[in-house]
Amino acid sequence: MARKETPAPASKEPVILDAVIAQDISAANQLALITRETETRVRAVALQMGYQLPADATDPDLIQRDIAANMRRSVEACLEVGRGLAVLKAACEHGNFVARLDVLGVDKYVAARFMQSAAKFAKLPTSATLKAIGNQSKLFEMLVLDDEQIEELELTGQTGELSLDDVATMSVKELRAAVREVRAEKAAVDKVLADKNTAMDKLRAQVKRIATIPPDDALADLQREATSNMNDALGAIRGGLRAALIAMNNHGDERGMHSVFMAGLVGQVAAELATLREEFNLPDVSNAADAALAGEVAQWAK
């Protein structure tokens, strides 16, 4: 009787090979997707920043070499450095941007200032301001100014007490002090306007509350309410407004700009008071005797 042979098991190599090929295809597709997403992001940042990609490529090595070349040129090239850094950051994988800054020899804080400069100055309609700035150190000092002040400087040649001629002739140290003074002056003015708006909102709320008081309530309640409103207004004038006027007056007024602005503030207050007097046909109590009597009435109403 012939011996029955057991058939040899089928080889597993084709199955393993198919699995490896499938994994390779999946990895390749995933890499292609990541590459497309990165390229799309880099081109979007380049378009937003107005940066011309070298050879129209998104390769971080090419962008890095372009930045290094721009760093050797004039102050206008600083903006191109800033644009390039912003695009390079978008092109790098997470954590790789600082390593490339090390290759370029750029501190990360300096890189941040380059990118801030590009965002702030790159969209100016002309180059007058950039010509006045003249170098990288002054460019970084100008970052203290806000966008409105930069636009005003570009359009009119001056913002506050700082002119383009000043920017061109000042040393870096002098410019640093000047831009901070202009910035502080604008902050003081903004605070005055904000305090004024707050006070006006409070007065409007009080006026609405007075309107809800029943007509049969005692007149003394209305007088006390009106006196409280008056005291708030006097506090805003004698406190916040006067302090702001003193601060602006101490800055000096060689061009007469502060005086005009301060006069406008005071004139607006005076105009509102004159409007009230005319609206309610009130007598003028500006003389001492009448003012004293009005003060006694106000104190009684408290």
- Of the candidates 97, 179, 107, the one whose C-alpha atom is nearest the C-alpha of residue 138 is 179
Could you say which residues of the chain have pLDDT below 70? Answer: 1-20, 71-74, 123-127, 203, 206-222, 252-257, 285-302
> For position 88, what pLDDT does the model report?
93
d(CA 90, CA 49): 12
Distances (CA, A) of 253 to 148, 165, 249: 22, 18, 7
The residues with which 158 forms a beta bridge, in sequence order, are 163
> For position 250, what pLDDT does the model report?
75
For residue range 45-73, what is the model confidence (pLDDT) as tens digits? Answer: 888 888 888 888 888 899 988 887 776 56
Torsion, Cα of 292, 297, 298, 302 (10° steps): 140
Distances (CA, A) of 28 to 39, 40, 52, 209, 234: 16, 18, 29, 71, 75
> For position 228, what pLDDT does the model report?
76
Q: Which two tokens stand for residue 265?
A: 């503030």
Q: What are phi and psi of 158, to 5 degrees?
A: -160, 145
d(CA 205, CA 199): 10
d(CA 41, CA 87): 9
pTM above 0.85, yes or no: no
Residue 119 in contact with residue 147, Cβ under 8 Å? no
> For position 65, what pLDDT does the model report?
87
> For position 130, what pLDDT does the model report?
78
Burial class (CB in 10 A: 0-12, 13-18, 19+), 102: exposed
DSSP 270: H
Give residue limits of the domains in the chain: 26-123, 184-301
> For position 101, what pLDDT does the model report?
92
> For position 300, what pLDDT does the model report?
46
- Of the candidates 137, 89, 90, the one whose C-alpha atom is nearest the C-alpha of residue 117 is 137
d(CA 138, CA 162): 14
Q: Which two tokens stand for residue 15?
A: 């199955």
The residues with which 93 forms a beta bridge, in sequence order, are none
d(CA 236, CA 202): 11
Residue type, 89: K
Helices (H) and strands (E) in the chain, counts: 14, 2
> For position 301, what pLDDT does the model report?
45
